[in-house]
Amino acid sequence: MRRGKKQRSGAGSATQPDFAAALEARLMEDGLDAPRVKATPEQVMLIACGALAREIIAVNEANGWDHAVLECLPAKLHNAPQHIAEAVRVKIRDAKARGFDSIFVLYADCGTGGALDAVCAQEGVERIPGPHCYAFFDGVETFETRHEEELGTLYLTDFFAKQFDALIWRGFGLDQAPEMRDILFAHYTRVVYLAQTENPELDAKAEEAAKRLGLSYERRFTGYGDLGTTLAGLAK
């Protein structure tokens, strides 16, 4: 006997009524476009992953920095990194066409295997250093030092804790085939939640995510790490 063909659920469609959740869902699916105005000489265009939008806005607001114009690509590209580099190139060229002389990319390598660096070099634009966003939140140097002893760790950030269901659980089809969990995460032993903010609700979400994956759990507060210092450098 044969079961009916499975239906793909699609990832990330939010039904929560509140604005914050709607914004998160938009950052996941569509990204964020800045108003189509011409650049002024002091402005810098930040091209970022949607998973970093809230953090970038929070750092800039907390410091009263209003020099930046932010555009984000959909955070769901995290699961399709082969598309990131060219998507960033499109954004860079669009920003240049709008008169931005100063452009900065807030993306880690993010699994592009150097393709993003190649695009940045070709376009004459810099990016924040680091292999992953969770690495620069942790501080790239610290992260790389610990890599070997932390083998088998799945890292969550505030965004990933919030979007665990859409990006990881549904993103990897575990809603359709939960038995795949033990294949996908066979060699993982724990979840480490690298927290950007003190938020018990997110802590609980991250812990629940670890439980669903059958992994142990640890929370570490990182704040904004290298993202904060990078944005401070751009503000000078």
Partner 1 sequence: MADEEDDIILSALSDDELVLQMHDDLYDGLKDEITEGVNILLERGWTPYDVLTKALVEGMRIVGIDFRDGILFVPEVLLAANAMKAGMFILRPLLAETGAPKQGKMVIGTVKGDIHDIGKNLVGMMMEGAGFDVVDLGINNPVENYLEAIEKEDADILGMSALLTTTMPYMKVVIDEMTAKGIRENYVVLVGGAPLNEEFGKAIGADAYCRDAAVAVETAKEFMEHRKHNQTA
**Residues found near partner 1 in the complex (CB under 8 A):** 1-6, 8, 79, 81-82, 109, 111-115, 131, 144, 147-148, 151-152, 172-174, 176-177, 180, 183-184, 186-188
Rounded least distance, CB 109 to partner 1, Å? 5
Paired tokens of 8: 């793909």
Q: Which is nearer to partner 1, 1 or 97 (CB)?
A: 1
Paired tokens of 124: 């004459």
Q: Which is nearer to partner 1, 100 or 143 (CB)?
A: 143
Q: Which is nearer to partner 1, 40 or 145 (CB)?
A: 145
Q: Which is nearer to partner 1, 140 or 206 (CB)?
A: 140
CB contact at 8 A, 181 and 211: no
204 residue type, one letter: A
**Inter-CA distances, 151 with 76, 148, 181, 191, Å:** 24, 5, 18, 11
3-state secondary structure of 31: coil
**What is the DSSP secondary-structure string of 90-153?**
HHHHHHHHTT-SEEEEE---TTSTTHHHHHHHHHT-EE--SSSHHHHHH-HHHHHHHTTTTTTE
Rounded least distance, CB 112 to partner 1, Å? 6
Q: Which is nearer to partner 1, 6 or 38 (CB)?
A: 6
Rounded least distance, CB 135 to partner 1, Å? 9
3-state secondary structure of 37: coil
Work out the burial of residue 38: count CB atoms within 10 Å of its CB; fewer than 13 is exposed, 13-18 middle, 19 or more buried: exposed
Q: Which is nearer to partner 1, 117 or 208 (CB)?
A: 117
DSSP bridge pairs for 76:
none
Rounded least distance, CB 3 to partner 1, Å? 6
Rounded least distance, CB 76 to partner 1, Å? 11
Q: How many residues does the chain have?
A: 236
Give the position of tokens 């990016």.
127
Q: Which is nearer to partner 1, 65 or 172 (CB)?
A: 172
Rounded least distance, CB 131 to partner 1, Å? 5
Rounded least distance, CB 2 to partner 1, Å? 5
